[in-house]
């Protein structure tokens, strides 16, 4: 299965040692093809550096860790053909579609409300734990 984690789930996996998100991520990379995009990784880098003030060497380590364990795609950030109210999620929806993701693990209530986009099922962390 092709699995994508949203930025906040990735950050939770990194920042909460032994937490549910970390356990799920470790299990997913062992069993599934875990995908990400440059857009998601840029957002993770910005949140760690700017918002959470994580030291840059730690951020660099995390980004290298992710890149070594995931297949990372680079799609355009500006995509106008998907209609969704939160414009910063449109590149993610486009990525999920083009990458052929089966599951998207997110805590975003607006995205979870969609339940599905094309072939991708949207899962909460709890749902992903049960399914993956």
Domain segments of the chain: what residues? Answer: 2-131
d(CA 97, CA 100): 5
Instruction: Note the pLDDT tens digit of each residue in 88-122.
Output: 888 899 999 999 999 999 999 999 999 999 999 99
CATH architecture label of 2-131:
3-Layer(aba) Sandwich (3.40)
Structure pTM?
A: 0.91
Instruction: Note the pLDDT tens digit of each residue in 48-77.
Output: 999 999 999 999 999 999 999 999 998 765
């Amino acid at each position: 299965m092709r699995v994508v984690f949203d930025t906040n789930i990735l950050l939770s996996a990194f920042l909460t040692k032994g937490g549910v998100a970390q356990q799920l991520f470790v299990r997913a990379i062992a069993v599934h093809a875990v995908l990400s995009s440059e857009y998601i990784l840029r957002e993770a880098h910005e949140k760690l550096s700017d918002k959470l003030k994580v030291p840059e060497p730690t951020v660099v380590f995390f980004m290298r860790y992710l890149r070594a364990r995931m297949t990372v795609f680079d799609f355009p950030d500006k995509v106008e053909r998907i209609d969704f109210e939160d414009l910063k999620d449109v590149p993610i929806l486009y990525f999920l579609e083009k990458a052929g993701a089966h599951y998207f693990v997110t805590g975003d209530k607006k995205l979870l409300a969609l339940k599905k986009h094309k072939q991708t099922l949207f899962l909460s962390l709890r749902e992903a734990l049960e399914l993956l």
